[in-house]
Amino acid sequence: MKMGRKAKPKSPQEMALVHHALENPARRNMIILMNQGKLSVPEIEAVVGPNMLDYHLHRLELAGLIEVHEGRIVLTEAGVAYGGLVKMQKERGGANKT
Of residues 1 and 60, more confidence is placed in: 60
Number of residues written out for the chain: 98
pLDDT confidence bin for 2, thresholds 50/70/90:
very low
Q: Which CATH architecture has domain 12-90?
A: Orthogonal Bundle (1.10)
Tell me what pLDDT residue 13 has: 87
Q: What are the tens digits of pLDDT across the range 9-45?
A: 578 888 899 999 999 999 999 999 999 999 999 999 9
Average pLDDT over residues 67-90: 93
Cβ atoms 87, 37 nearer than 8 A:
no
* pLDDT surpasses 50 at 1: no
Share of the chain above pLDDT 70, in %: 87
Rounded-to-integer distance, Cα 81 and Cα 74, Å: 13
Nearest by Cα to 80 from 5, 4, 1, 2: 5
